[in-house]
Amino acid sequence: MKLFPSQTLSSISKIIQAEFEGEKDFPVLGINEIHRVEPGDLVFVDHPKYYDKALNSKATIILLNKKVPCPKGKALIFSEDPFRDFNKISNHFQSFQKLNTSISQSAQIGEGTIIQPGVVIGNNVKIGKNCLLHPNVVIYDHCILGNNVIIHANTVIGSEAFYYKKRPEGFDKLLTCGRAIIEDNVEIGASSTIDKGVTADTIIGFGSKLDNMVHVGHDSIVGKHCLFAAGVAIAGVVTIEDNVTLWGQVGIASDITIKKGAVVWAQSGVGKDLEEGKTYWGSPADEASKKMREMVAIRQLGKK
């Protein structure tokens, strides 16, 4: 999430009453989750396993729970509980806004767009021209739909990320302040769910088509002209390049990349990066031709 206007190291530290290391006027341009950080962003880290990853990331302000040497060109903010304080910062700049009408007065809706009964459109939503939203579609705050987008009944765009920290007394939720962006000419089937990014954007690319009951997790990026059949479930922070086909009930683990033109057959479980232009099958998914040979070999084991 970009901050407008930009903030300073001292102003951010004041929100959470924390010590900092660096020039007090050091600029803070945004806040972001580790997988999507850019220069000028603030990121949090609360586990020693990930200190180096955060300190060496593109982020230039690191909120952490240990005093360490400050890398050149960066700034540090020290907190007893970075997860909690990151939530405080997120809430400060984008707190929950109650919706008092089915379609927010702040929503921008393009010419020729048709909105069927029961649709709910949140605050600061932008919808392009000639879209069609079928009954009971819900568009959460800050989401963006391009032109010629079709959303079928009961689908939710911009639901909150499934992101929790386990504590002795239960689970703490990381507040979600990103967006979901649906580009031009996308069609999304009934009862599907597209989570918005934790602090960045979940994107469904130009011309992609999603069947019924498809789920796309937070901060995932789907390329152009992808085709997903019913029941596909994609975890958070997945990158799917252009022209990828996922058949029914394919499951995709978090933080992996499926490269351009790959095809994954139905009911496969994908737990690693997939190469460009190849066909995959199985759980764990591997090249379909290899899986077929393995099945033949296994059947031969039982023969005399």
- Annotated catalytic residues are 218
Cβ atoms within 10 Å of 229's Cβ, excluding its own: 20
The tokens of 156 are what?
């939710």
The tokens of 65 are what?
């729970």
Q: At what angle do helices 82-93 and 9-16 cross, to 10 degrees?
A: 110
Sheet containing 215-216: order of strands: 120-121, 138-139, 156-159, 193-195, 215-216, 233-234, 251-252, 269-270
User: Please, which residues bridge with residue 251 across strands?
Assistant: 233, 269
- What is the CA angle 29-34-36, rounded to 5? 65
C-alpha span between 276 and 244 (Å, rounded) = 9
